[in-house]
Amino acid sequence: MADVKNTGDTSYEMGMHTEQLSGRSQQIFFDSEDAENMAYPWAPDVDFNRRTEFDAAELNTKEINNQIRDLMKEGFGSIVIKNPGAKHSVAVGILSRLNLIIEGSLGYFGCGLIDGPNVRISGRVGWSFGENMMAGTVLIEKNAGSTFGAAIRGGDLVCKGSVGSRTGIDMKGGTIIVGGNTGAFSGFMMQRGRMIICGDAGKNLGDSMYDGTIYVGGKIADLGVDAVQDELTELETAWLKRKLSQYGLLEQKNVAQFTKIVAGKQLWSYDNLEPAEKKIIL
Amino acid sequence: MCGIAGLIHRGTQSDIGSEMTSMLQSLRHRGPDSTGFAVYSVPHADSYLIRFKVAEQEDIAAGGFKIHQEIEQRKVEVDRRLAELGVSILEEEQATEYAFRYRFSFEGDLENLAKYVEDVEDTEILSLGSALELIKDLGDATSVSEAYKLGGFHGTHGIGHTRMATESDVDIRSAHPYWAFPYNDISVVHNGQITNYWIMRREMERKGHRFMSSCDSELLAVYTADNLSNGATLEESLRSSIIEIDGVFTYLVATRNELGMAKDTMAAKPLVLYESDDLIALASEEVAIRAILPQEIDTYDPYDEEVRVWQT
C-alpha cells in the first residue's frame, strides 16, 4: 500500500497548494479548455447576451427558483431579479453558467450549492450564504451574516462589507474575500482554500484549521487552537493584489502588510487529497 | 429555533402594534407554537396598567363545563383582592375569556399587590407598570394580535417573540416575553438555550425571586430584575449576563424608555440590526425588518459579546 501523506511541501511553502484543489477548478482536467467547457449534461444552453428580468416581490422561494430555471431553459444567460425581499434559499443549486444579478437583499442559505454561475447582489445576505458553493463567482455589495461561505469547495465568494461569525467554517476550497471585518471563529475547521479579510478578524481565528490560508489586513483579536502566523511570500502578495483588484477592493491596501495565518499542525488522519486522487495513489 | 424582534422609535411614536405584528408574522416559520408582544406607550403619569390571565388556553379545552365557572370565580377573587388593597380600577377590558387588562390607580406597594393577585389559583400577571402592555398566547402573530386588539396600539417601542417550544411546554406561561417580576415595565425575549439554568435559578430563588414556568428564558427576566433592583443599569446587566450566564443566546430587553440587546460569547444565535437616526429595528432574520421597511436599507449582524442599548 502506498504511503498517503501530504506531498505538497513545495506548493505549501509557496502558499499555492489550496488553489489546485477547489470545486470545478479542481485540477482533474487535462487542459484548460476541458475545464472551461465542462458542463453538466443537463445544463441548459444559455446565451449571455440574452437578458431578462422579473419581480420577486410577490413570489415565494420556490417560485423564484423555478422562474430562474425556466428562464435558463428558454436560453436567457443574464437574469435580473428585482425586489427579492431578503427571502431565504434564493438562487440555490444553479449548476451551470449564468449571469445572475440580484437587486436587493437575500435571506438565509442564498446561492447555496451553486456550481458555475456569476452572481452579483446589490444588498445584504443572511446566514450561511453560499454554503457548499462549488464554482463560479459571487459578489455582494453590502454585508453578510454568519457562517458565510460554510464548506465551500471552489469559486470566489466576495462580500464587500463586513460579515458575521464563523466565516468559512469547514471551508474545503475556493476563495472567500471580505472587504470589511469578520466575526469570531472565522476559518473554524478550515481544510483548504483561502480567505482574505481586509479588515479586522474576531477572536479564535482559524480555530482547529487543518489546512488552507487566511490573510488578514486589519487586527486579529486572537488566534484559535492550531492556527499560527506564517511569512507572506512574494507570490502570495502578487496573488492578493490580483484578487483584490479583480473585485475593486485593492484601493489603499498594502497587501504586503497583510498577516498570513496557516495551520500549525494537522489532524493525524488528515490529508488534502481528493477521493479520486487517493484512488490513484492507493 | 424561535424568532425575536424589537423596534424603537426615537423621539416619536408609531403604530407599534401593527409593526410588531408584521415583523413577528414574518418570523412564524421560526416558532409556530406561541406569539408574544411587549409594547410600550408613553408612560401614564398617575395610573398603572396590568395584564393578567386566570387560566391557560389548554385548561378550557380540557376543563369541561366547570372551567368557565372557575374562571369567573378567579376573576371575581382578583377583583376582590384589588379592592381590598385600595385599588381603583379606571378601565377594564377582557381580551379573551381568561385574559384581562386593567388600568388602575394605586398608592401602595406594587410588589405586594402582584404577589397577592398571583396567589389566586392559576392566576399570572403578564405585565405590570405604567407603560408596558404584555400580550402572549398560543397561535401566530396575526391571530394573537387580532384576539387582543393590538393593531393600532400607538407607542414608542416594543419587543416580540415567536416560540418553538424546546425546553418546556406549549402554554402561555412558557411563552415569551417575560415580565421581569416585580420590576415595573421590564420585559425580555430570548432565542437560545441557557445551560446553567438550574444553578442560576436556585441562586435567584434563594434571593426571593419567583418563577412561574420552567422555561429557561424566564431566568433572563428574573436575572435582569435582580440586577436592576440592585442599582445596575440595563447595559451593565446585559454585559454581566454574558459572563454569568452559560449557553447560546441572543436576547432583547425593553424598559420604559430603553431597548437593549446582548449576544453570547459564541454568537450562535442570529440577530440582524437596522439602525437609523429615528428608528432601530432588530430581528432574528432580515425578512422581519423588511416587513416594515421594504425599501433598500443597510443591515448587519451584531458580533459575539456585543451589547447595545438605545433610548426612546
- Across the interface, of A86, A142, A183, the residue whose CB is closest to B303 is A183
B177 and B60 belong to one structural domain: no
**Chain A partners within 8 Å of B272 (Cβ):** 126, 145
B250 and B121 belong to one structural domain: no
Rounded Cα–Cα distance for residues B119 and B52 (Å): 12
B50 and B146 belong to one structural domain: no
CA angle (A270 as vertex; A267, A276 as ends), nearest 5: 170
pLDDT computed for residue B212 by the predictor: 84
Q: State how far residue B225 is from chain A, nearest Cα, in angstroms.
A: 30
pLDDT computed for residue A35 by the predictor: 54
Residue B78 forms part of a structural domain: yes
User: Do strands A115-121 and A99-103 pair parallel, antiparallel, or not at all (unpaired)?
Assistant: parallel
Substitution target in A83, A141, A146 with the highest count of B β-carbons within 10 Å is A146
- Across the interface, of B266, B299, B303, the residue whose CB is closest to A124 is B299
Rounded Cα–Cα distance for residues A249 and B99 (Å): 57
pLDDT computed for residue A8 by the predictor: 44
pLDDT computed for residue A170 by the predictor: 95
B263 and B276 belong to one structural domain: yes
Structural domain span for residue B105: 45-130
Q: Taking an 8 Å Cβ-Cβ cutoff, which residues of chain A contact chain B?
A: 85-88, 104-105, 107-108, 122-124, 126-127, 142-143, 145-146, 161-166, 183-185, 202-203
pLDDT computed for residue A275 by the predictor: 63
Q: State how far residue A149 is from chain B, nearest Cα, in angstroms.
A: 15
Lowest mean pLDDT among A38-47, A118-127, B124-133: A38-47
Residue B119 forms part of a structural domain: yes
Rounded Cα–Cα distance for residues B36 and B44 (Å): 22
A126 contacts B272? CB cut-off 8 A: yes
Q: State how far residue A133 is from chain B, nearest Cα, in angstroms.
A: 22
CATH code for the domain of B271: 3.60.20.10
**Chain A partners within 8 Å of B285 (Cβ):** 86, 88, 107-108, 126
Q: Tell whether B299 lies on the interface with A, counting CB pairs under 8 A.
A: yes
pLDDT computed for residue A24 by the predictor: 42
Q: Tell whether B65 lies on the interface with A, counting CB pairs under 8 A.
A: no
B49 and B39 belong to one structural domain: no
Residue B295 forms part of a structural domain: yes
Nearest chain A residue to B287 by CA: give it.
A86
Q: Is the pLDDT of residue A55 over 60?
A: yes
**Chain A partners within 8 Å of B266 (Cβ):** 165, 184-185
Nearest chain B residue to A105 by CA: give it.
B296
Substitution target in B28, B287, B305 with the highest count of A β-carbons within 10 Å is B287
B298 and B220 belong to one structural domain: yes
Instruction: Give CB contacts under 8 A, 24+ apart, made by A161-168.
Output: A161/A124, A161/B300, A162/A199, A162/B300, A163/B301, A164/A127, A164/B267, A164/B301, A164/B303, A165/A202, A165/B266, A165/B267, A165/B268, A165/B301, A165/B303, A165/B304, A166/B267, A167/A195, A167/A197, A168/A193, A168/A195
Q: Nine-digit cell at B288?
A: 422581519
Rounded Cα–Cα distance for residues A266 and A270 (Å): 7
Nearest chain A residue to B267 by CA: give it.
A165
Q: Is the pLDDT of residue A250 over 60?
A: yes
- Across the interface, of A104, A146, A161, the residue whose CB is closest to B267 is A146
Of B95, B130, B165, at which residue does a domain stop? B130
B164 and B286 belong to one structural domain: yes
Over residues A51-69, the mean pLDDT reads 97
Q: For residue B169, name the pLDDT band (cuts at 50, 70, 90).
A: confident
Question: pLDDT digit string (tens) for B110-156?
Answer: 989 999 999 999 899 999 999 999 999 999 999 999 999 999 899 99
B126 and B235 belong to one structural domain: no
Contacts of A188 (CB under 8 A, 6+ apart): A166, A168, A169, A170, A204, A206, A207, A208, A209, A224
Q: Tell whether B295 lies on the interface with A, counting CB pairs under 8 A.
A: no
pLDDT computed for residue A2 by the predictor: 37
Q: Is the pLDDT of residue A194 over 60?
A: yes
Contacts of B61 (CB under 8 A, 6+ apart): none
Give me the residues of B, 265-284, that contact A with CB < 8 A.
265-268, 270, 272
Nearest chain B residue to A203 by CA: give it.
B304
Q: Is the pLDDT of residue A277 over 70?
A: no
> Where in A200-249 does DSSP place strands (E)?
213-216, 227-230
Q: State how far residue A125 is from chain B, nearest Cα, in angstroms.
A: 9
pLDDT computed for residue B152 by the predictor: 86
**Chain A partners within 8 Å of B26 (Cβ):** none
Domain count, chain B: 2
Q: State how far residue B244 is from chain A, nearest Cα, in angstroms.
A: 19
**Chain A partners within 8 Å of B250 (Cβ):** none
Rounded Cα–Cα distance for residues B22 and B27 (Å): 9
Chain A, chain B: beta-carbon pairs less than 8 Å apart: 69
B211 and B68 belong to one structural domain: no
B301 contacts A143? CB cut-off 8 A: yes
Q: For residue A140, name the pLDDT band (cuts at 50, 70, 90).
A: very high
Rounded Cα–Cα distance for residues A243 and A233 (Å): 15
Rounded Cα–Cα distance for residues A281 and A4 (Å): 7
* Average pLDDT of the residues of chain B: 93
Over residues A134-161, the mean pLDDT reads 95
pLDDT computed for residue A16 by the predictor: 45
pLDDT computed for residue A18 by the predictor: 47
* Average pLDDT of the residues of chain A: 86
Of B130, B148, B165, at which residue does a domain stop? B130
Q: State how far residue B18 is from chain A, nearest Cα, in angstroms.
A: 19
Question: pLDDT digit string (tens) for B235-245?
Answer: 999 999 999 99
pLDDT computed for residue A19 by the predictor: 46
Q: For residue A5, name the pLDDT band (cuts at 50, 70, 90).
A: very low
A143 contacts B270? CB cut-off 8 A: no
Q: For residue B66, name the pLDDT band (cuts at 50, 70, 90).
A: confident
Rounded Cα–Cα distance for residues B52 and B56 (Å): 11
Q: Is the pLDDT of residue B94 over 60?
A: yes
Q: Give me the active site residues of B, please.
A: 2
pLDDT computed for residue A37 by the predictor: 59
B95 and B144 belong to one structural domain: no
Bigger pLDDT: B214 vs A202? A202
- Identify whether the C-beta of residue A146 lies closer than 8 Å to the C-beta of residue A127: yes
- Across the interface, of B287, B300, B304, the residue whose CB is closest to A86 is B287
- Across the interface, of B265, B290, B303, the residue whose CB is closest to A85 is B290
Over residues B70-82, the mean pLDDT reads 95
- Across the interface, of B287, B300, B304, the residue whose CB is closest to A87 is B287
B299 contacts A146? CB cut-off 8 A: no
Over residues B84-93, the mean pLDDT reads 95
The predicted complex's ipTM stands at 0.85
Residue B135 forms part of a structural domain: no
Of B130, B162, B181, at which residue does a domain stop? B130
B245 and B117 belong to one structural domain: no
Q: Is the pLDDT of residue A17 over 50?
A: no
- Identify whether the C-beta of residue A141 lies closer than 8 Å to the C-beta of residue A178: no
Over residues A189-196, the mean pLDDT reads 94
pLDDT computed for residue B261 by the predictor: 98
pLDDT computed for residue B150 by the predictor: 93
B178 and B214 belong to one structural domain: yes
Q: For residue A204, name the pLDDT band (cuts at 50, 70, 90).
A: very high
pTM, 2 dp: 0.88
